[in-house]
């Protein structure tokens, strides 16, 4: 199917309009990314944020606290005369 010169011009105009909209959206997205990265890079040392809002460093894997009581600390059982049934 052959397009006429006018049809080709119309398609070219539509394509240029789409490209312009896409470029505008890309610029907006890049601006937003830069602002969000600036917020991420702020901490209590380079802004007025309190130290409690600083991100904690990740602990190495395998160093989580174990649940339960301390090792070697076991409870002494009650003597039989103290048990109430």
Q: What is the pLDDT of residue 63?
A: 67
The DSSP secondary-structure symbol of 62 reads T
Q: Which residue has the higher pLDDT, 74 or 2?
A: 2
Q: What is the DSSP letter of 48?
A: S
Give the pTM. Answer: 0.52
By three-state DSSP, how is residue 57 classified?
coil
- Which of residues 46 and 29 earns the better pLDDT score? 29
- pLDDT, tens digit, for every residue of 35-72? 999 988 887 888 888 888 877 777 777 666 777 777 77
**Predicted confidence (pLDDT) at residue 74 exceeds the cutoff of 70:** yes
pLDDT in tens, 7-26: 999 999 999 999 999 999 99
* Residue 69 CB coordination number (10 Å): 9
- Residue 3 main-chain phi, psi, to 5 deg: -95, 150
């Amino acid at each position: 199917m052959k397009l006429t010169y006018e049809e080709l011009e119309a398609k070219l105009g539509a394509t240029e309009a789409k490209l312009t909209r896409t470029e505008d959206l890309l610029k907006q997205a890049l601006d937003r990314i830069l602002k969000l990265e600036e917020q991420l890079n702020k901490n209590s040392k380079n802004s007025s944020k309190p130290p409690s809002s600083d991100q904690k460093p990740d602990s190495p894997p395998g160093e989580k606290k174990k649940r339960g009581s301390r090792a070697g600390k076991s409870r002494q059982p009650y003597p039989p005369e103290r048990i109430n049934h």
